[in-house]
Chains A and B, each alone.
Chain A
């Protein structure tokens, strides 16, 4: 825990005036003829919990490894604070990494693993012991000092990896799919735990994951990546409620997309049905767009401003909600209803939603 005494190690950072902790400027990475990262430019502010989210092969791990110094960019610059670290080896960078497989040293015990970085920096012995113990307490592993990594559970190993990195007070902590190897329940628990620890130590976390829920739970801001580029960058709410591309809308949860054309009256005429009101900036009239609504924003009644009629083709109880699939002239809609709902398969229903819940994607030409 943070005490007055160790607070000096973890200065609570104020978020604005200092330079961003990480800056990528036009960073490109090619592996032979494969373009892994494509002219990426990115700033990660101090003290934030930042997630790089995307499917496998989108370049998120390569980006992380370039910040960590395990790969050199083919082009572009990487700065940590005001420090240009492009081309510097990882041992000269003020960042530490939590590896996907944890990469704990199997021949060293928990304490020695955590002390590894401090020993290299010739910190006094008593100081090493104090800081390592403090860090083990923060990650909830008191009294485990003398265990070997193989004697620990996956979750405990994960915590050791975290402590081993954080004890060095890096400028930035890099996490490469840190929860990937844990089972679902433990993963949920560790998500909250990681968030707590990040608050406690105030260090910038850069987190790579393909799990949208994990990114949304933990991160302050998320960069959704696809094919080596950032598709969209923003807070979890913004990305979920106002995705700008079909990729982002599809990657972050389920969405219903309907094709249509912008009208002169500032609405969208959806193909096969009527006009829909949208509470978002629209491109000029006549532009082809897609309007999107999240399934849980749809209602099976006529109460909201936008509505279409259709027929229930499928009904499935999924625990937290009931999922309906409704065929409409505009296309097939997925609807989540909180209560079990009364409509049955084959029923004619109205599906309605609010203009505020509607997002607009420009159709790729």
Chain B
């Protein structure tokens, strides 16, 4: 048993958590401004730069804000779909819907983002559709980012929610009705509290996947950067690894707090 576990646990411990630890340590190093060499002494200078630089603050807030917004939108869109799949649909319709939800995950993520780029572009299908009504699409920017992320991660919200709702016995819904609860009350007092851990479980995916993304912003957000983009340019172009490491700790810290809250909500029992 221990021999079997050694390899995967070793991998997890050394390669995965180890690199996170190195990342965290590197966040306190700094770059020599003249030689561009990494100086391995410890200071908060990177964090100060990030905190004081308005650009960095905007980027961090944009990243977290859009991740939160995408999570809320996905939750709202996914709930009725998951509920229909779990409680209303016939077995046949249910199977078809599960396939329909899973299918987009088979397509390349890049393909899907470029598809959205085409949909949203100036003379794209969305504008063509909206034109007769005198309206036009959002173009590229934050709104486009929210739309694309909400689309990309929706299945990750639907699936845990569907599993969570399916676990609620029908008899509980009948019991609520039996005790005088109409649909709204049954939803608020029975379905929502029981599905809440599943909702949080789904939100871990939608939130963290958005938080760490840097490709979709490049393609559909017209130069509006995410934390990931800054990390990417600092690793590559600017070659300022310590600053990149420091900025990368921000989403990690946010996720740690988020996961702690999620654990309190009991989300891990429904993953």
Tell me the smallest distance from the CB of B171 to a CB of chain A, in Å.
Answer: 4
Whether the pair B190, A90 counts as a contact (CB closer than 8 A) is no
Q: A89 — nearest CB in chain B belongs to which residue?
A: B177
Nearest CB of chain B from residue A162's CB, rounded to whole Å: 13
Query: Count of A residues near B, CB < 8 Å?
Result: 24
Binds A, one of B8-16, B33-41, B76-84, B181-189: B181-189
Q: Is the CB of A168 within 8 A of B179?
A: yes
Encode contact with A along B166-179: 1 for CB under 8 Å, 0 otherwise: 00010110111111
Q: Which residue of B169, B175, B180 contacts A121 across the interface (Cβ within 8 Å)?
A: B180
Chain B residue numbers with a CB within 8 Å of A168 are: 179-180
**A116 to B190 alpha-carbon distance, docked (Å):** 10
CB-CB nearest in chain B for A168: B179
Contacts of B169 in A (CB 8 A): 101, 103
Is the Cβ of B179 less than 8 Å from the Cβ of A120?
A: yes
Closest to A170 in B: B178
CB-defined contacts of B68 to chain A, threshold 8 Å: none
Of the candidate stretches A91-99, A220-228, A341-349, the one touching chain B is A91-99
Residue A281 is within 8 A (CB to CB) of chain B in the complex: no
Q: How far, in whole Å, are A120 and B183 apart by their CA atoms in the complex?
A: 12
CA distance A99 to B178 in the complex (A): 10
The interface centre, meaning the residue of A104, A117, A165 with most chain B CB atoms within 10 A of its CB, is A117
Q: Which residue of B lies closest to A100 (CB)?
A: B171
Closest chain-A Cβ to B185's Cβ sits at a distance in Å of: 6
B119 within 8 A of A: no
B194 at the interface (CB under 8 A from A): yes
Cβ A107 vs Cβ B178 within 8 A: no
Please state if B194 and A96 are interface contacts (CB–CB under 8 Å). Answer: no
CA gap between A68 and B174 in the complex, in Å: 10
Q: Does B124 contact A (CB under 8 A)?
A: no
- The CA-CA distance from A165 to B182 in the complex, in Å, is 17
Whether B189 and A103, one on each chain, are in contact in the complex, defined by CB atoms closer than 8 angstroms, is no
B177 close to A91 (CB less than 8 A): yes
Q: Binary interface profile of A, 277-316, with partner B (CB < 8 Å = 1, else 0)?
A: 0000000000000000000000000000000000000000
**Residues of chain B with a CB closer than 8 A to A96's CB:** 178-179
B182 touches A91 (CB 8 A): yes
Main secondary structure on B side of the interface with A: helix
Q: From the candidates B174, B185, B189, B193, name the one contacting A90 in the complex (CB within 8 A).
A: B174
B175 adjacent to A91 (CB under 8 Å)? no
Tell me the bound Cα distance from A107 to B185 in angstroms: 15
- Is A133 interfacial (CB-CB < 8 Å)? no
Interface pair B193/A107, CB less than 8 Å apart: yes
Q: Give complex CA distance A106, B176 in Å.
A: 12
Residues A68 and B185 in contact in the complex (CB < 8 Å), given A101-B171, A103-B169: no
> Which residues from B are CB-within-8-Å of A101?
169, 171
Q: Determine the residue in chain A with the shortest Cβ distance to B172.
A: A103
Chain A residues lying within 8 Å of B190, measured Cβ to Cβ, are 105
Name A176's closest neighbour in chain B (CB-CB).
B171
- Determine whether the beta carbon of A99 is less than 8 Å from that of B171: yes
Complex interface: chain B residues within 8 A of A68 (CB):
178
B174 and A103 contacting across the interface, CB-CB below 8 Å:
yes
Nearest CB on A from B188, distance (A)? 11
Question: Which residues from chain A contact B172 at a C-beta distance below 8 Å?
Answer: 103, 105
B179 and A164 contact, CB distance less than 8 A:
yes
A100 to B182, CA, bound (A): 22
Bits for B138-177, please: 1 = Cβ < 8 Å to A, else 0: 0000000000000000000000000000000101101111
The reply on A70 being an interface residue by CB < 8 A is yes
Are A117 and B174 in contact, with the CB atoms below 8 A?
A: no
CA distance A243 to B222 in the complex (A): 85
Residue of A nearest to B182 (CB): A91
Question: Provided the pairs A105-B190, A107-B193 are in contact, do residues A120 and B171 lie with their beta carbons within 8 angstroms?
Answer: no
B174: A residues at CB distance < 8 A: 70, 90, 97, 99, 103
- Bound-complex Cα distance A90 to B179 (A): 8
Contact B178 A91 (CB under 8 A): yes
Most buried by A among B175, B177, B182, B190: B175
In the assembled complex, which residues on chain B have CB atoms less than 8 Å from the CB atom of A97?
A: 174-175, 178
Determine how close the nearest CB of chain B comes to the CB of A114; give it in whole angstroms. 10
Closest residue of chain B to A97, judged by CB?
Answer: B178
* Min CB–CB distance B182 → chain A (angstroms): 6
Q: Of B171, B180, B182, which one neighbours A117 at CB under 8 angstroms?
A: B180
Least CB distance, B93 to chain A, in whole angstroms: 17
Interface string of A161-192 (1 = CB under 8 A from B): 00011001000000000000000000000000
A253 to chain B, nearest CB (A): 32
Check B193–A91 contact: CB distance below 8 A.
Answer: no
Determine if A116 and B194 form an interchain contact, defined as CB atoms under 8 angstroms apart.
Answer: no
Contact, CB under 8 Å: A120 / B177: no
Neighbour of B171 across the interface among A91, A103, A107, CB < 8 A: A103
- Give CA–CA (A103, B171) in the complex, Å: 6
Contact between chains at A120 and B180 (CB < 8 Å): yes
A-B contact pairs, 17 of them (CB 8 A): A70-B178, A90-B174, A90-B178, A91-B178, A91-B181, A96-B178, A97-B175, A101-B169, A103-B171, A104-B175, A105-B172, A105-B175, A117-B179, A120-B179, A165-B178, A165-B179, A168-B179
Given contacts A105-B175, A105-B190, 13 further A-B contacts (CB under 8 A): A69-B178, A70-B174, A70-B178, A95-B178, A99-B171, A99-B174, A101-B169, A103-B169, A105-B176, A105-B189, A120-B179, A121-B180, A165-B179
Q: Which residues of A come within 8 Å of B, CB atoms?
A: 68-70, 89-91, 95-97, 99-101, 103-107, 116-117, 120-121, 164-165, 168
6 nearest A-B pairs in the assembled complex, by CB-CB distance: A117-B179, A103-B171, A103-B175, A120-B180, A90-B177, A107-B193
